[in-house]
Amino acid sequence: MSTIDCFCRAQDSSRVTPISLCATVVVFVAVGLAIAMAALIYRGQQNDPSKVFDSETLAMVSPSAAAFTVSSHKVLDLDKATKYDADPSAKSANGNVCNTSGCVLAAAEILKNINKTVNPCEDFYSFAYGGFKTRNEIPDDQLSVTTFSLISDEVTEQLRSLIERPIKETDAEPFKLVKKLFQSCLNNKTRAEEVGLAPLKEVLDQFGGWPVVVGDSWDDSTFVWTDMIYKFRLAGYSIDYFVDFSVTTDLKNSTSRIIDLDQATLGLSREYLIKGLGDKDVKAYLDYQPTSGSDKDKDSATKQQTEALEFEIKLANLKYSAVLTGTTERKPHWEECTDLVSVLCNAVGAMYVREYFEEAARRSMNEMVKDIRNVFSEIIDELEWMDN
């Protein structure tokens, strides 16, 4: 394994950042492996009690898998607990207790998440996860905190430590590109503060101007929307305003790719819009929209309108994000830049794998996946309701 597989999409990055998507994919794979691993361990013990996976190796490959499978080794003898307490030193009836460092660490993580003051028969979620909620507060720049998000944060920090390192002559060209892009992103904030909105206004002028900005000088007789979309496409900007164009897998032939035409994505999700103007989220979205073109039936002051609009957009962006998502602060700038460079999935993934992924872990993972595949095949073969 030389790279971390992840899904990248240059457009629409405001919805799901590549690093979050990559981390989430990795975590979901780990959890899927963990669940299958539990079945594998159980079936392995049934067929051959002497064949049990090394928990230290499992913890090294995937802490999530270790946490899920540790119960198979009966580190926590909850069946006999009378006060919802768990004694890691307690042995089960057959004495099958895992005391390796991997099991101990996984058990400690489980114990930290448990709220032993709650009766699991009355509220199992609070019992199993109450400790996690108590220990983790949601930062102002995040929607939620989960086990997945904590792992994602850790991966982001690790990536930061890699791409902040000075560029060396011995670095591979893709790695140099990643580091240059990151530094360019960091420097761009200072540059943006210096030049203000001038570059944006230049871009708008290239496309014939924007009615809100140019005011009464706007000539709508020269505007042709098809020509505008063509100019946007040539400049590399999104054109999915009326019709969504994309390349996807042919549903009738999975070996082929086709051009997919779909309705364009709305500025706000349909489930919000159908609630009407009385909904707080729709109201926030409405406030986000700038004033439309100048009204010739009224006195207009283009300069004042532009200045007020720029200020309104700043306020509306903050308000829109806070109302719709609950976040009141932006991410640190370095974190936004880390998200940006993560669109170079192969390069960033290769940097991460070479630094943090041990060869022993790769071999163990390959062996685990092979065994899990075999167990899945056996399970499917034993399903009576499935056709041959």
Same domain, 205 and 246: yes
Is 183 inside a domain boundary?
Answer: no
Whole-number pLDDT of residue 380: 87
C-alpha dihedral sign at 309, 310, 313, 319? negative
Same domain, 373 and 305: no
- Torsion region of 128: left, alpha or beta (phi above 0 gives left; psi -120 to 50 gives alpha): alpha
Q: Is the confidence at residue 110, as pLDDT, over 70?
A: yes
Same domain, 100 and 28: yes
Is 8 inside a domain boundary?
Answer: no
C-alpha dihedral sign at 98, 104, 108, 110? negative
Q: Is residue 178 a contact partner of residue 3, using CB atoms and an 8 Å limit?
A: no
pLDDT interval class at 256 (50, 70, 90): very high
Coil, strand or helix at 196? coil
What is the maximal distance between C-alpha atoms in the chain? Answer: 89
Mean pLDDT to the nearest integer, 344-362: 84
Q: Is the confidence at residue 114, as pLDDT, over 70?
A: yes
Higher-confidence residue of 253 and 279: namely: 253
Higher-confidence residue of 210 and 30: namely: 210
Coil, strand or helix at 330? coil
C-beta neighbour count of 247 within 10 angstroms: 8
Same domain, 57 and 142: yes
Is 175 inside a domain boundary?
Answer: no
Whole-number pLDDT of residue 267: 64
pLDDT digits (tens, 9 = 90+) for 377-386: 888 888 888 7
pLDDT digits (tens, 9 = 90+) for 154-196: 888 888 888 889 999 889 898 998 998 888 888 877 777 777 7
Is 174 inside a domain boundary?
Answer: no
Could you give the C-alpha distances from 30 to 38, 58, 209, 307, 368, in angstroms and in order?
12, 11, 50, 51, 11
Percent of the chain having pLDDT more than 90? Answer: 3
Is 173 inside a domain boundary?
Answer: no
Most confident range (mean pLDDT) of 68-77, 92-101, 242-251 is: 242-251
Same domain, 135 and 216: no
Higher-confidence residue of 367 and 12: namely: 367
Same domain, 24 and 158: yes
**What is the residue range of 358's domain?**
18-162+335-381
Same domain, 212 and 280: yes
Whole-number pLDDT of residue 307: 47
pLDDT digits (tens, 9 = 90+) for 3-50: 333 433 333 333 444 455 555 544 455 555 555 554 444 454 445 444
Whole-number pLDDT of residue 277: 66
| DSSP codes, 263-283 | EPPPSS-HHHHTT-TTSHHHH
The count of domains in the chain is: 2
Same domain, 106 and 206: no
CA atoms within 13 A on the CB side of 348: 30
Percent of the chain having pLDDT more than 70? Answer: 57
Q: Is residue 243 a contact partner of residue 261, using CB atoms and an 8 Å limit?
A: yes
Same domain, 240 and 315: yes
Higher-confidence residue of 208 and 65: namely: 208
Same domain, 235 and 365: no
Same domain, 304 and 368: no
Whole-number pLDDT of residue 95: 58
Is 167 inside a domain boundary?
Answer: no
Whole-number pLDDT of residue 287: 61
Which of 281, 298, 325 is the endpoint of a domain? 325
pLDDT interval class at 69 (50, 70, 90): very low
Same domain, 31 and 155: yes
Mean pLDDT to the nearest integer, 267-287: 68
